[in-house]
Chain A
Amino acid sequence: MSSFLRLEGVGKRFGEHTVLDSISLDVEQGEFLTLLGESGSGKTTLLRILAGFEEPTAGRVLLDDQRLDAMPAHRRPIHTVFQSYALFPHMSVFDNVAYGLRVRGCPRGEMTSRVQEALAKVRMDRFAVHFPRQISGGQKQRVALARALVNRPRLLLLDEPLSALDANLRLEMQRELKLLQREVGITFIFVTHDQSEALAISDRVVLLHHGKVEQCGSPRTIYSTPRTAYAASFLGKSNLVTGTVEQGVADCGAFSVPVELPDGPVTFSLRPECVVPASEATGDQVVRFVAEVVAEQFHGADSLLTLRCPSGMKLSARVAAQNNGGGFAFRAHDLVPLQEA
């Protein structure tokens, strides 16, 4: 079965330094895929390889079964929205958006209507004659989007496009981007270091760490079942609970939980929001323990408590109401065993 975009063992080395280490990935048509990772994880390099600004030192990239990495950037049916927007300062908004059509000799009538349509889609049609220096960051963002989309690319690459915007504008743009992607049906590959952003808008998230794919899956999947300690800590907050399994029971010091795992040492991921005051825990498979509250961070909608168990183990818990310590609980299935990657 052929997929839309396939990366086979893509690697990139700069001298001694390996930035990407054998990345293999299948991207489906029409999906919103996010490359998530901290700086140095290789996510931007991977994007640039797809765009054609870097050549891989290993592996291949295939688009519809055709070799993409052999094509120069300007011939690829792929367009990029840059982090700095990269709008041409000496051209108006209209001319910026029309650029791709112009260099490919699109007839004037068709060009004008397509540009106007693209601008309308990002709600920048009123600004057609303005220049980049006259519009705000968020507006430049939208023009950059229109400029890429007007050419109807098979694939759109977005390099941390929202990182320069302030928090509220960012949330709004996340929603708009998602809607836009659904509307045009083009495959988006989005790069970001912000895990909450990645979880909010993606169909699938690829977590990169030290140039390798740490984990790949839908936001819900990778959040609730992280494979590694890194994945657990990077995507939201997580408690890393160590324990030893003996005959089907994991002994973690403060509590013991029945598990279906082979004997030996194990590390679990336990999300803070899964740790609730004992009085609120109902149903089966509830694990209870006792702890005192050592520190509290008030976040408005909830608080992040640092708990200390009698055994010395520290846990974070996210609770809604004020809490002075005492009994806490979580469900057994919230304890996710990590596979050491």
Chain B
Amino acid sequence: MGRSRLSAWLVTVPPFAWIALFLFVPYCLLFCYSFWSLDANQQVLHHWTFTNYLHLATTPLYLTVILRSMRIAFSVVLLSLAIGYPLACFLVFQAGKYRRMLYQAVIIPLWISYLVRAYAWKVIFGNEGVMNTLLQWCHATSHPLGFLLYSPFAVIVTLTHIYVPFVVLPVVASLEKIPPELLESSSDLGANAWQTFVRVILPLSLPGVLSGATFAFLLSFGDFLAPLLLGGPSSVMIANIVANLFGADYNWPLGAAVAVLILAMVLAILTLTQKLERRWRAA
């Protein structure tokens, strides 16, 4: 018995130690920094104060950017679901023997560099890019559309492109879990295809939808690359603010405060959706 106890310790201690050192401690540091501040010489004062949080609360900029980030994240979720949910249904119910191949085809884009894909959208939306050239070619517009690039639109489309597969996968998983007898039973009792979809398939797929939506929302919310590449000044997101505070706008304590705020929001949303999912799963 002593030996298995020892081996249990050997197994759990190394990862535990690593996680403690490289995850737990840094988060604690982040927390501490958020309560410190900068003095006149740009040095960090290890003096505990609420200055940073007060600054966040009283400066409208931060709230604006947070709300904008949420709006963009929410739009990404809606658009991803609009594209991804029907695709998932198609894969599970209509694809037949091509299912495996088509499923792989959804996963492949995930493995291609985020940077590459974001850059590609930049190319497409540019003034001389594919989109504008196409629109002008069929005379839909007479000059390049400026809003395509360096706008929230570009950010939303790019992020949707990245996160559609993240939405499709869990929805497919939850659709596959529906026993076929339930669908036959629904049809047996007189429901046509649409009624079966609304009353049986949709409710039972909600856990997967929630899972995918949460993932897409949280990752979009905290994204800083797409706004930097494709967003303009009007689409600065909260992660960009943090990056700047740790970069050119040198103010680490304030940046830490914003980071803690983001972290708190992410954890809150995650807890909420997990509770919701547990409730739905039970049914």
Q: Is B15 an interface residue (CB 8 A)?
A: no
**Across-interface contacts of A103 in B (CB, < 8 A):** 186, 189-192, 195, 199
**Across-interface contacts of B190 in A (CB, < 8 A):** 74-75, 100, 103-104, 151
**Across-interface contacts of A131 in B (CB, < 8 A):** 283
**Closest B residue to A73 using CB positions:** B187
Q: Is B179 an interface residue (CB 8 A)?
A: yes
Interface residues of B in 178-219 (CB under 8 A from A): 179, 181-182, 184-192, 195, 199-200, 203-204
**Closest B residue to A92 using CB positions:** B283
Contact A74 B188 (CB under 8 A): yes
Write the nearest CB–CB distance from B5 to chain A, whole angstroms: 38
**Count of B residues near A, CB < 8 Å?**
19
A41-74, CB under 8 A of B: which get 1 and which 0?
A: 0000000000111000000000000000000111
**Across-interface contacts of A51 in B (CB, < 8 A):** 184, 188
Write the nearest CB–CB distance from B175 to chain A, whole angstroms: 14
Q: Is A88 an interface residue (CB 8 A)?
A: yes
Contact A86 B191 (CB under 8 A): no
Q: In the bound complex, how far is the Cα of B149 from the Cα of A265, in angstroms?
A: 93
Q: In the bound complex, how far is the Cα of B184 from the Cα of A148, in angstroms?
A: 13
Contact B192 A86 (CB under 8 A): no
Q: Is A300 an interface residue (CB 8 A)?
A: no
**Across-interface contacts of B186 in A (CB, < 8 A):** 88, 99, 103
Q: Is A233 an interface residue (CB 8 A)?
A: no
Q: In the bound complex, how far is the Cα of B188 from the Cα of A80, in angstroms?
A: 7
Q: Is A147 an interface residue (CB 8 A)?
A: yes
**Across-interface contacts of A195 in B (CB, < 8 A):** none
**Across-interface contacts of B204 in A (CB, < 8 A):** 89-90
**Across-interface contacts of B181 in A (CB, < 8 A):** 82, 84, 86
Contact B184 A82 (CB under 8 A): yes
Interface residues of B (CB under 8 A from A): 179, 181-182, 184-192, 195, 199-200, 203-204, 282-283
Given contacts A74-B189, A74-B192, A79-B189, 18 further A-B contacts (CB under 8 A): A51-B188, A53-B187, A72-B187, A74-B187, A74-B188, A82-B184, A84-B181, A86-B181, A88-B185, A88-B200, A89-B204, A99-B199, A100-B189, A103-B186, A103-B192, A103-B195, A131-B283, A151-B190
